[in-house]
Chains A and B, each alone.
Chain A
């Protein structure tokens, strides 16, 4: 039902949720329309929540390999180990 591609950024998702809230607070939509809007809002919120729950993002470090800059996984304990 909801076009999830629209909410590829969290900014866009929040903006839509705020829009819906404002619309509902204006009292303009009828009950049926309000239920539709609320359903959409729930879907957006659930979608964001799922995204947030996805596995922890890795920490990457840029390394040069054969003259090319590439991402490698960064072991954050390295920073601790070499701390003065």
Chain B
């Protein structure tokens, strides 16, 4: 009978393998392609790294996963940094990833693309969402670092353009972990007030890493949720962040944001002046027009030289009188006789003369109505009759007439 060879227990050999493996493969970089990526409900992520000939199982614990900027996807080429770990109960080894970065493209760049794709699918960057800025805001809310270059630039330009515009600063972090939450809090805070006309958020230039808070979903969603129009001003002109895309207006720099938001007091005054000047001109045109109309009326002789007119008439009269004189006394008497004839005829038309010729006038005594027709009086009416030299009152006994 063969002597039984000395054997390890499974546990013992596994322990040795584990110790050897884990010691040998601590803090290693592995390059490969992701496959079978699965984000478990526990928060842990399970995946495999593979190349043409082999597969290595890997895991990203939840705490590490939270620091990932981008979302791993099957087919992505990645560089993973971590430790080989042997799981005794399963008899399997795996790479416990501590850091993960894409190959051929920066992690942040990849993250930017991924988040951009996701949020634009939701329509958060749509042009149609963008609102116009108020033309003449009185209070501007600013979410940025109170000690950064951005706020200094904004204040300087704002003061120069219009010191009557009030600036209210919400101090936030603009870089580092958690900065996105303070920015979002600032945007939310201004939206609780009803006196803020427009909000500027941003920061000065920096690395892509520095600008990162403005590429987070948290800040993008806070901008989208803002009732008040938001101007995003992050970094230099060439830097474009997701905040820029979500904002109602993207300013290339914080200084430019101040130029765009804070209206120039001088320009405004010029605008008022222009309007009032146009009106004044229009008014003087209207006045001139009215004056001309009046003048053409006054230009008529009757208004222009009333004395002339009078003089003309008087001259005519003088002429007539002279002619009269020249015609001699005889002719003058004839004219005078004719005149007295006319006067006596006129006198004959006076009612008293008519009465003198024997006519009379009667009126009803009770209401004084003139009796012109037999119908104007009835039996029993009392009539007053006026004669040239007195009056009579009589009682109507009978009336009759034509029809």
> Chain A residues in contact with chain B, CB under 8 A?
9-11, 14, 17-18, 20-21, 24-25, 27, 29-31, 34-35, 37-38, 41-42, 45, 48-49, 51-52, 54, 56-63, 69, 71, 74, 76, 78-80, 82-83
- Bound-state Cα–Cα, A40 to B36, Å: 75
Selected from A11, A25, A31, A41, the residue in CB contact (under 8 A) with B134 is A11
B278 and A56 within 8 A (CB) = no
B287 and A51 within 8 A (CB) = no
A17 and B269 within 8 A (CB) = no
A56 surroundings in chain B (CB, below 8 A): 159, 163-164
- Bound-state Cα–Cα, A31 to B146, Å: 56
- Bound-state Cα–Cα, A54 to B171, Å: 27
Selected from B146, B166, B276, B282, the residue in CB contact (under 8 A) with A45 is B276
A41 and B136 within 8 A (CB) = no
> Whole-angstrom distance from the CB of B280 to the nearest CB of chain A?
7
> Chain B residues in contact with chain A, CB under 8 A?
134-136, 138, 146-149, 151-152, 155, 159, 163-171, 186, 189, 265, 268-269, 271-273, 275-276, 278-280, 282-283, 286-287, 290
A82 surroundings in chain B (CB, below 8 A): 147
> Whole-angstrom distance from the CB of A62 to the nearest CB of chain B?
5
Name the CB-closest residue of B to A57.
B166
B166 surroundings in chain A (CB, below 8 A): 57-60
B168 surroundings in chain A (CB, below 8 A): 59-62, 71
Name the CB-closest residue of A to B276.
A45
Selected from A42, A61, A69, the residue in CB contact (under 8 A) with B146 is A61
A17 and B275 within 8 A (CB) = yes
What would 27 A/B residue contacts be, using CB atoms closer than 8 Å? A10-B135, A14-B271, A14-B272, A14-B275, A17-B279, A25-B282, A31-B290, A37-B279, A38-B279, A41-B275, A41-B276, A41-B279, A45-B275, A49-B269, A52-B265, A56-B163, A59-B168, A60-B166, A62-B168, A62-B186, A74-B146, A76-B152, A78-B147, A79-B146, A79-B148, A82-B147, A83-B147
> Whole-angstrom distance from the CB of B309 to the nearest CB of chain A?
30
- Bound-state Cα–Cα, A82 to B159, Å: 20
A54 and B164 within 8 A (CB) = yes
B136 and A79 within 8 A (CB) = no
A78 surroundings in chain B (CB, below 8 A): 146-147
- Bound-state Cα–Cα, A37 to B276, Å: 11
B134 surroundings in chain A (CB, below 8 A): 11
Q: Which of B134, B167, B290 has the most A CB atoms < 10 Å from its CB?
A: B167
Name the CB-closest residue of B to A51.
B164
Selected from B268, B279, B280, the residue in CB contact (under 8 A) with A52 is B268
A69 surroundings in chain B (CB, below 8 A): 189
Given known pairs A60-B166, A78-B146, the reply for A52 and B276 (CB within 8 Å) is no
- Bound-state Cα–Cα, A35 to B285, Å: 12
- Bound-state Cα–Cα, A25 to B286, Å: 10
Q: Which of B151, B159, B189 has the most A CB atoms < 10 Å from its CB?
A: B151
- Bound-state Cα–Cα, A54 to B163, Å: 10
Given known pairs A62-B171, A79-B151, the reply for A24 and B265 (CB within 8 Å) is no
B282 and A42 within 8 A (CB) = no
A62 and B169 within 8 A (CB) = yes
Closest A-B pairs by Cβ, 4 of them: A10-B136, A57-B166, A82-B147, A24-B282
> Whole-angstrom distance from the CB of A75 to the nearest CB of chain B?
10
Name the CB-closest residue of B to A24.
B282
A76 and B165 within 8 A (CB) = no
Selected from A48, A57, A59, the residue in CB contact (under 8 A) with B169 is A59
- Bound-state Cα–Cα, A29 to B170, Å: 51
A76 and B155 within 8 A (CB) = yes
Given known pairs A17-B276, A38-B279, A82-B147, the reply for A59 and B155 (CB within 8 Å) is yes
> Whole-angstrom distance from the CB of B186 to the nearest CB of chain A?
8
> Whole-angstrom distance from the CB of B67 to the nearest CB of chain A?
26
Given known pairs A11-B135, A60-B166, A76-B152, the reply for A17 and B272 (CB within 8 Å) is yes
> Whole-angstrom distance from the CB of B68 to the nearest CB of chain A?
30
> Whole-angstrom distance from the CB of A12 to the nearest CB of chain B?
10
A17 surroundings in chain B (CB, below 8 A): 272, 275-276, 279
B275 surroundings in chain A (CB, below 8 A): 14, 17-18, 20-21, 41, 45
